[in-house]
Amino acid sequence: MAQVGSIQSWSLGVMLHLVLAAILHQGFATVAPPTAAPHKDPSAPEQGKYNLTTSNGTTCLLAYMGLQLNITFNSVSQNKTVQDIVNIQPNVTKSTGSCESDVASLHLTTDAGKTNLTFVFTLNTTTSKYHLSEVSLSAAWPDMKDPLSANNRSLDYLRGTLGYSYKCRKEQTLTVAQNFSINTFQVQVQPFGVSGTTFATAEQCQLDEDDMLIPIVVGAALAGLVIIVLLAYLIGRKRSHAGYQTI
Ligand SMILES: *[C@@H]1O[C@H](CO)[C@@H](O)[C@H](O)[C@H]1NC(C)=O
Ligand SMILES: *[C@@H]1O[C@H](CO)[C@@H](O)[C@H](O)[C@H]1NC(C)=O
Ligand SMILES: *[C@@H]1O[C@H](CO)[C@@H](O)[C@H](O)[C@H]1NC(C)=O
Ligand SMILES: *[C@@H]1O[C@H](CO)[C@@H](O)[C@H](O)[C@H]1NC(C)=O
Ligand SMILES: *[C@@H]1O[C@H](CO)[C@@H](O)[C@H](O)[C@H]1NC(C)=O
Ligand SMILES: *[C@@H]1O[C@H](CO)[C@@H](O)[C@H](O)[C@H]1NC(C)=O
Ligand SMILES: *[C@@H]1O[C@H](CO)[C@@H](O)[C@H](O)[C@H]1NC(C)=O
Ligand SMILES: *[C@@H]1O[C@H](CO)[C@@H](O)[C@H](O)[C@H]1NC(C)=O
Ligand SMILES: *[C@@H]1O[C@H](CO)[C@@H](O)[C@H](O)[C@H]1NC(C)=O
């Protein structure tokens, strides 16, 4: 009697183990970063810490972000259209700009003035929401047949709420024009309502929230399964005891 019971609990224990192992394995496989990243060349850009200060010394815009430009242009040396991926190097990039009550523009100059990039943020004072509404680029690289200038005034990226900062750890692609897009990495911006020199509470982007959802769902599924297996085990034990008694 006792032997049958112990064999049953042993096999249930093994099953529980296997199920747990399978789930944990799958969970980790899902959470692990994708190994086949779409582009590795060049490596992810360094996060630059760009900020704007008004004439009386108060910080009015904070922007921490890693920026990678994806530019299509006519190459002189290769005599054809090429795609160049260039990281913005924070230590050789200067930030200037202006802050108004409902418009803030951040102008980045890098590469000894051969690349100029401007971000314009707009605040809707009715809804208290802000977003990146405009990006312009002018680039005059030595290998370019003609200097490139691109501008788009109808963008709607990096949406945040007044009083909060916008944060996104994951890579995002901001398409500006047919031959120009920006890949952003590790972004935290606050173009309005900055008090002091630090970011307000961050609003996480959807991409990051989706990322956090996976472990939560896996955890919940795991907990549910443990409870089900435990219940099955307890009920099975009770039944088998009852069964032996009737024999
Ligand atoms: C100076 O800073 C205060 C806030 O500390 C602000 O209200 C005011 O508009 C600023 N003045 C200028 C000229 O930027
Ligand atoms: C650059 O942009 C082109 C399309 O314009 C796209 O096919 C390519 O994947 C992009 N590369 C990177 C590294 O973002
Ligand atoms: C960029 O794309 C636009 C069309 O979207 C085109 O008119 C322009 O010539 C392109 N510039 C370069 C340098 O390729
Ligand atoms: C560039 O390529 C075009 C055809 O794509 C060709 O006609 C021209 O001769 C080439 N120029 C040079 C300098 O190689
Ligand atoms: C900027 O940083 C890069 C590495 O991130 C380094 O290779 C380069 O020498 C630095 N340039 C200057 C001017 O400090
Ligand atoms: C602010 O948002 C509201 C609602 O989305 C919209 O109707 C209004 O046109 C926006 N105002 C501005 C100045 O963009
Ligand atoms: C970038 O801006 C600087 C300063 O405003 C200017 O001297 C330079 O010519 C600009 N570069 C390009 C490529 O437009
Ligand atoms: C500007 O961006 C919007 C939204 O990404 C896009 O639909 C539009 O085609 C862009 N305009 C130009 C001139 O590339
Ligand atoms: C703003 O940027 C400058 C230059 O990088 C830096 O010295 C300063 O500490 C920054 N201020 C804040 C509030 O981050």
- The per-residue pLDDT for range 190-217, each reduced to its tens digit, is 999 999 899 999 998 877 777 776 767 7
Q: Are the C-beta atoms of residues 167 and 188 closer than 8 Å to each other?
A: yes
**Domain-embedded: residue 23:** no
**Interhelix angle 2-31/206-246, nearest 10 degrees:** 170
CA of 46 to the centre of ligand 5 (A): 11
CA of 65 to the centre of ligand 6 (A): 27
- The per-residue pLDDT for range 36-75, each reduced to its tens digit, is 334 445 789 999 999 999 988 899 999 999 999 999 999 9
- The pLDDT assigned to 113 comes to 92
**Domain-embedded: residue 193:** yes
Domain limits at 65?
Answer: 37-208
Which of 154, 159, 155 has its CA nearest to residue 130?
159
Q: Using CA positions, which residue lies closest to atom 13 of ligand 9? A: 197
What string of DSSP letters covers the chain?
-HHHHHHHHHHHHHHHHHHHHHHHHHHHHHHSPPSS-S--SSPPPPEEEEEEE-TTS-EEEEEEEEEEEEEEEEETTTTEEEEEEEE--GGG-EEEEEE-SSEEEEEEEEGGGTEEEEEEEEEETTTTEEEEEEEEEEE--TTBSS-EEEEES---EEEEETTSEEEE-S-EEEEEETTEEEEEEEEEEE-S---TTS--SEEEPHHHHHHHHHHHHHHHHHHHHHHHHHHHHHHHHHHHHHHHHH-
**Domain-embedded: residue 100:** yes
CA of 205 to the centre of ligand 6 (A): 21
Give the model's confidence band at 188: pLDDT under 50 very low, under 70 low, under 90 confident, else very high.
very high
Q: Ligand 7: residues whose CB is within 6 Å?
A: 109, 113-114, 116, 138-140, 147
Q: Which bound ligand lies closest to the C-alpha atom of 110?
A: 7
CATH number assigned to the domain comprising residue 156? 2.40.160.110
Helix, strand or coil, per DSSP, at residue 10: helix
**Domain-embedded: residue 75:** yes
Q: Flag whether pLDDT at 12 surpasses 70.
A: no
Phi/psi at 225 (nearest 5 deg)? -65, -40
Q: Flag whether pLDDT at 132 surpasses 50.
A: yes
Give the model's confidence band at 233: pLDDT under 50 very low, under 70 low, under 90 confident, else very high.
confident
CA of 240 to the centre of ligand 3 (A): 77
Number of domains in the chain: 1
Q: Flag whether pLDDT at 27 surpasses 80.
A: no
**Domain-embedded: residue 147:** yes
**Domain-embedded: residue 16:** no
Q: Using CA positions, which residue lies closest to atom 1 of ligand 9? A: 51
**Domain-embedded: residue 63:** yes
**Domain-embedded: residue 181:** yes
